[in-house]
Structure 1
Amino acid sequence: MDKQLQRDLTQWLKSQSKLAKRWLMLSVGLGFLSGLLLVGQAALLANILHQLIIEHTDKYELVDQFIGLIAIVGLRAACSWGREIFGYRCGEQIRLHIRQLILNRLHSLGPAYIKGKPAGAWASLVLEQVEEMQDFFARYLPQMSIAVLVPVVILVTVFPINWAAGLIFLVTAPLVPMFMALVGLGAADANRRNFKALQRLSGHFYDRLQGLSTLRLFNRADAEAENLHAASHVLRKRTMEVLRLAFLSSAVLEFFSAISVAIVAVYFGFSFIGELNFGHYGVPISLFTGLFVLVLAPEFYQPLRDLGTFYHAKAQAIGAAESIVEFLNVEADEMAAGDQELPSPETIEINVSDLEVLSPQGQVLAGPLSFDIQAREQVALVGPSGAGKTSLLNALLGFLPYRGSLKINGIELKELDHSEWRQAISWVGQNPLLVHGSIHDNITLGNTLATDDHVSLVAKQAYADEFISRLEKGYQHQVGDRSGGLSVGQAQRIAVARAMLQGGAFWVLDEPTASLDANSEKLVLKSLSQAVQGQTTLMVSHRLDQLSTIDRVLVLEDGKLVQNGHFDQISHEGLLADMLSHTDKRDLNA
């Protein structure tokens, strides 16, 4: 990673800290207060020892100083506790903001872009990498200010007492940050490599976990276990590289801090035996002066050492921020959305003219296309794999950008409020997605207005009640992630019931029976035929023998609309005829 990129990422991280400026200032303020108390604590401790050893003062006469010392120690402990709390709040607030930025960007890019990476990689970006920024905001940023303020306070206190000790502090202080920077030069690169390895492993592991049954079916489990072992070995090497740099940084800082404190101790030692006679403004060095400065000496370097310790947090945050900033600044065409209301949402009419569907990177996926879907018309969309059917659906749903015209009830889709437009859509896909929760939760899917009677009604209409009633807990039966515990047919019927509860005027059916057995297919088709009566419907279908009941068929090939008309009119020629002939041959061979 070049230095300019590191500076840019550091600047971006610091700009995010403005959101929690109050917590940051409180943390710094308590650190500064702790530094002031530290000077008082050192003065009291040195004075007590001077009185007891040199002045031979009775210890009972120093009770008030002992009480003051205990009070200062307690106040410093309270300041440390407050710093931790305020620092955590600072990091928490900024992490929530950054995570929301990522989620907003994911929402704006849409599912078509999200599918380009494994789910594990997105999870690593949103969870682990954002969490790795906590110490940067909670510890490193406040420590940057404290590492300046506290040593300045100590210097201002020490110089009037002994300029030689103050000069030693002043000369040796830059050694700590200088060597901290030298050791930390490669830390950001090491962390970046570590996060990249973590993303790859997360994505790889999550995808293989999802397909575990398939891997076992084809006897590939052992081979994939070896691949996971190799990926985890890379992550282990990257993690150990980061830890090695962190330990090296701490060791170097401790070494130079110890040398600096030793120089101060040697100076006072030789001064006490009369070998050195400078630095004390002509006033003999007393035990109070020596103890006072020696108590402050390690505390002078402690903020700098802490900054060095937390410098690893900076490198870690920079490594995490690279992927986050890269994602937030990714150049991708987003589906523009307006704020106009959808007119007459109870009926949907679609007009497409010279439409070109674009990928997030700006490439043309399908088009130009021109066709109309009239209100309450049922239209089928067919074509070979790669013809552009899914791309067209994603554009209609507002998930992909486009050029040309795509009007819903006379309003351009770019000008519509997409959330309102999607409320008018009832969707049933070929792979029903059920989330972890009860069957009732999966049918309502956050619809708080749905009553139990309404849920039961749509379940009966979708023929889902026949298996729900046999379950021990009925509608409260728990479903695992990705339809765990239910067959594909049962999950699809729940998805149909969910679409019925949505009550949209525009039904989008993406091969809803592609993965079903004959009995489930019959029930799903029967429920769907009843649900879409009188509704505008667009159905992607691989069952060409069922198209005769559809009002109109759109045939796509290589992103172009090659046929448009009723099944009986276009089934004797062109691409649809070829597809029908191939279907018939497969049926005969079967």
Structure 2
Amino acid sequence: MDKSQEKSLLLWLKSHKKACGHYLSLSVLLGMLTGGALVVQAWLLATSLHGLIILHLPRSAFTAEFIALIGIIMFRALLAYGRERISFMAGQRLREQIREAVLTKLGELGPAFIKGKPAGSWASIVLEQVEDLHDFYAKYLPQMMLAGFIPLIILVIVFPINWAAGLMLALTAPLIPMFMILVGMGAADANRKNFTALSRLSGHFMDRLKGLSTIKLFYRGAAEEKAIEKASNEFRERTMSVLKMAFLSSAVLEFFAAVSIAVLAVYFGFSYLGHLDFGSYGTPVTLFTGFFVLILAPEFFQPLRDLGTHYHAKAQAIGAAEALQELLSFEVESQSIKSLPEADIAPALVNSGCEKVSGPVGVKIKNLVVTSFEGHQLLGPLSFELNAGEHMAIVGPSGAGKTTLLNALLGFLPYTGEIWINDVLLSEMDVAHWRKQLTWLGQDPQLFHGTVRDNVAMANPNLTDEAIVRLLTQAKVMDFVEQLALGIDHPIGEQSSGVSVGQAQRIALARALAQQAHLYLLDEPTASLDSQSEQAVLLSLSAAMQDKTSIMITHRLDQLQHKDQILVLDKGKLVQQGLFDVIAAKEGLFSDMLNEVMQPFTLSSEQEGKV
């Protein structure tokens, strides 16, 4: 990592310290009070020892000092406890805000962007990398301020007592941050590589775990074990490299602090023996001066040593911030649906004419070009019009751009051109209002951990049990739910465990029907179903889509006779468009695909005729 990038990431980290609120300032204040209490404690100890040993005063003469000393020790303990708690709260508030910003950004970018990385990589960013920002705000930033304040206060107090001791402290103090910087120069880069290795391991492991059945089916278990072992060893080596730097940094700091204190001790020792006679402004060095300075000396270096310890937190935070800054600063240059704060939604609906998109939906597309987030063209240019209440099918080979078109309509991919919803440009609409008009159903239904009721009522939490039963009945899945001991309270595990694919698809259909949407976007909703489940889902959809507009991606070309319009896509281009009978009669991709579908039935009929 070059210096300019490291500096940029450090500025980005510091720009977010406002999220810590007043807790950060309060943590610094408590640290300063702790420094002041240290000076008072050293003065009480040195005064008492000087009086008892040199002046031979009775112990009763120092009763007040002893009581004050006990009080100051307890006060320091309370300050230390309070500072730890407040520092933690500062880091906690920061983590909450950053994690909320990350999740909000991922929500804005949508699933098309999220699928660009393995799920384990996103888990690493949202969990581990956000967590690794904590110590930077809770410990490093407050310690940065204290490392300058406390040593300065001690120098101001020591110099009037003994200028030689103050000079020794002032000359040896810079050695610690200097060597701390030298040792920690590669720490940020090591942490960045460690996070990259962790992200790779997490993504690799989670993807293989999800595809475990397929791996076993194709006897790829041994090969995947080696791949996971390689990723694990890389992560282990990166982690050990980071720990090596952390231990080396601590050892260097302890060494120079110990050497500095030893130099002071030698100076006072030779002064008491009469071999040195300077530093006390022409007066002999007293026991009070020696004790006072030597008690303060470790505390003089302690903030610098603590800063060195927390310097690793800075390097760790810089390594974690790289992916976070890249994600949070990611901007899509092409048109997309506006995403406004909740307080601004109502004015946006009035100003953009979104009130016109509250009934039957018509879609008009002009010169649409859909791109990836990196700017690569995925689809287009294409133009078509779908009137309110009509049903459109989109067909084409895999990779033709069918799902890309739906993602653009959903607001998940950037585009150029015009998408009109009734008389309103999609780019001028509020994303929350627009998606309330939609029902999306894909080929891979996503059910969440919870009950059947929870999953159906996700779009409308106010649904009653009677409404949920009605929706499940409409989706042709109530017969299955009634057979369950808990009925609609039947638990569903992660990845739809506990139900079959067909049952999950129909529960997802019930959830979609609960939205009472005006436009249905269907991405091969029956692709994973058996014929009986497929017919049940199609019947439910046909009944639900009466007087509604729909766009369906499908490979079932034999079921398109009743569609009002068919689009045929190939390699991101619109190659054919029209009614089933019209485009089936013409030479082209659609007739070729139709012949491939019908060929097995034709051969079967010929064989039966020969028999």
- Deviation of 1:108 after TM superposition, in Å, equals 2.6
- Can you list the C-alpha shifts for 1:476-505, whole angstroms capped at 9, x where unaligned? 111111111110000011011111111101
- Can you list the C-alpha shifts for 1:125-176, whole angstroms capped at 9, x where unaligned? 1111111011110001000110111001111111111111000000000000
- Deviation of 1:335 after TM superposition, in Å, equals 4.8
> 1:470 matched to which residue of 2?
483
Question: Quick one: distance in 2 between partners of 1:547 and 1:330?
Answer: 41
> 1:268 matched to which residue of 2?
268
Whether the aligned pair in 2 keeps the contact of 1:109 and 1:334 (CA below 8 Å) is: no
- Deviation of 1:330 after TM superposition, in Å, equals 3.6
- Superposition pairs of residues 152-551 of structure 1, within 5 angstroms: 152-330=152-330, 332-333=332-333, 335-338=335-338, 339=348, 340=352, 341-551=354-564
> 2:581 matched to which residue of 1?
568
- Deviation of 1:100 after TM superposition, in Å, equals 2.5
> TM-score, structure 2 length as denominator?
0.94
Question: Quick one: distance in 1 between partners of 2:430 and 2:357?
Answer: 14
- Superposition pairs of residues 3-22 of structure 1, within 5 angstroms: 3-22=3-22
**1:579 and 2:593 aligned:** yes
- Deviation of 1:334 after TM superposition, in Å, equals 5.6
> 2:344 matched to which residue of 1?
none
Question: Quick one: distance in 2 between partners of 1:293 and 1:224?
Answer: 63
- Deviation of 1:292 after TM superposition, in Å, equals 0.7
SS in 1 for 2:561: helix
**1:150 and 2:150 aligned:** yes
- Deviation of 1:332 after TM superposition, in Å, equals 3.7
SS in 2 for 1:375: coil
SS in 1 for 2:418: strand
Q: Which is further off, 148-157 or 443-452?
A: 443-452
Whether the aligned pair in 1 keeps the contact of 2:334 and 2:416 (CA below 8 Å) is: no
> TM-score, structure 1 length as denominator?
0.98
SS in 2 for 1:502: coil
Whether the aligned pair in 2 keeps the contact of 1:342 and 1:420 (CA below 8 Å) is: no
Whether the aligned pair in 1 keeps the contact of 2:391 and 2:564 (CA below 8 Å) is: yes
Q: Which is further off, 555-564 or 380-389?
A: 555-564
- Can you list the C-alpha shifts for 1:59-84, whole angstroms capped at 9, x where unaligned? 23322111100110111111111111
- Can you list the C-alpha shifts for 1:47-70, whole angstroms capped at 9, x where unaligned? 111122222222233221111001
- Deviation of 1:21 after TM superposition, in Å, equals 4.6
- Deviation of 1:189 after TM superposition, in Å, equals 0.9
- Deviation of 1:467 after TM superposition, in Å, equals 0.5
What letter matches 2:41 in structure 1?
Q
Query: Aligned pair in 2 of structure 1 residues 587, 78: CA closer, same or farther (>3 Å)?
Result: farther
- Deviation of 1:464 after TM superposition, in Å, equals 1.0
Whether the aligned pair in 1 keeps the contact of 2:560 and 2:580 (CA below 8 Å) is: yes
Residue ranges of structure 2 left out of the alignment (5+ in a row): 339-347, 605-611
- Deviation of 1:299 after TM superposition, in Å, equals 0.7
Whether the aligned pair in 1 keeps the contact of 2:95 and 2:130 (CA below 8 Å) is: yes
What letter matches 1:229 in structure 2?
E
- Can you list the C-alpha shifts for 1:414-456, whole angstroms capped at 9, x where unaligned? 0011111111111111110001110111111152221111111
Residue ranges of structure 1 left out of the alignment (5+ in a row): none
> 1:140 matched to which residue of 2?
140
- Deviation of 1:347 after TM superposition, in Å, equals 0.6
Whether the aligned pair in 2 keeps the contact of 1:428 and 1:509 (CA below 8 Å) is: yes
> 2:126 matched to which residue of 1?
126
**1:72 and 2:86 aligned:** no
What letter matches 1:560 in structure 2?
K
Question: Quick one: distance in 1 between partners of 2:18 and 2:407?
Answer: 38
Whether the aligned pair in 2 keeps the contact of 1:513 and 1:521 (CA below 8 Å) is: yes
Query: Aligned pair in 2 of structure 1 residues 250, 588: CA closer, same or farther (>3 Å)?
Result: farther
- Deviation of 1:204 after TM superposition, in Å, equals 0.6
Question: Quick one: distance in 1 between partners of 2:21 and 2:581?
Answer: 70
Question: Quick one: distance in 2 between partners of 1:453 and 1:331?
Answer: 44
Question: Quick one: distance in 2 between partners of 1:344 and 1:303?
Answer: 62
- Can you list the C-alpha shifts for 1:515-569, whole angstroms capped at 9, x where unaligned? 1112111211111111111111111111111111222211112222222222122
Query: Aligned pair in 2 of structure 1 residues 587, 279: CA closer, same or farther (>3 Å)?
Result: farther
Whether the aligned pair in 1 keeps the contact of 2:369 and 2:416 (CA below 8 Å) is: yes
- Can you list the C-alpha shifts for 1:356-377, whole angstroms capped at 9, x where unaligned? 1122122221111111111111
Whether the aligned pair in 2 keeps the contact of 1:109 and 1:360 (CA below 8 Å) is: no
Whether the aligned pair in 1 keeps the contact of 2:332 and 2:414 (CA below 8 Å) is: no
Question: Quick one: distance in 1 between partners of 2:591 and 2:176?
Answer: 79
Question: Quick one: distance in 1 between partners of 2:597 and 2:326?
Answer: 47
- Superposition pairs of residues 49-128 of structure 1, within 5 angstroms: 49-128=49-128
Query: Aligned pair in 2 of structure 1 residues 540, 61: CA closer, same or farther (>3 Å)?
Result: same
Question: Quick one: distance in 1 between partners of 2:110 and 2:357?
Answer: 26
Whether the aligned pair in 2 keeps the contact of 1:17 and 1:94 (CA below 8 Å) is: yes
SS in 2 for 1:549: coil
Question: Quick one: distance in 2 between partners of 1:292 and 1:334?
Answer: 68
Question: Quick one: distance in 2 between partners of 1:437 and 1:588?
Answer: 47
Whether the aligned pair in 2 keeps the contact of 1:176 and 1:256 (CA below 8 Å) is: yes
Q: Which is further off, 211-220 or 533-542?
A: 211-220
Whether the aligned pair in 2 keeps the contact of 1:184 and 1:245 (CA below 8 Å) is: yes
Query: Aligned pair in 2 of structure 1 residues 388, 128: CA closer, same or farther (>3 Å)?
Result: same
What letter matches 1:259 in structure 2?
V
Question: Quick one: distance in 2 between partners of 1:281 and 1:266?
Answer: 19
Whether the aligned pair in 2 keeps the contact of 1:443 and 1:497 (CA below 8 Å) is: yes
What letter matches 1:284 in structure 2?
P
Question: Quick one: distance in 2 between partners of 1:93 and 1:364?
Answer: 40
Question: Quick one: distance in 2 between partners of 1:497 and 1:232?
Answer: 43
Question: Quick one: distance in 2 between partners of 1:120 and 1:588?
Answer: 47
Whether the aligned pair in 1 keeps the contact of 2:451 and 2:492 (CA below 8 Å) is: yes
Whether the aligned pair in 2 keeps the contact of 1:112 and 1:399 (CA below 8 Å) is: yes
- Deviation of 1:18 after TM superposition, in Å, equals 2.6
Question: Quick one: distance in 2 between partners of 1:282 and 1:37?
Answer: 30
Whether the aligned pair in 1 keeps the contact of 2:394 and 2:569 (CA below 8 Å) is: yes
Whether the aligned pair in 1 keeps the contact of 2:391 and 2:550 (CA below 8 Å) is: yes
Question: Quick one: distance in 1 between partners of 2:22 and 2:455?
Answer: 42
What letter matches 1:281 in structure 2?
Y
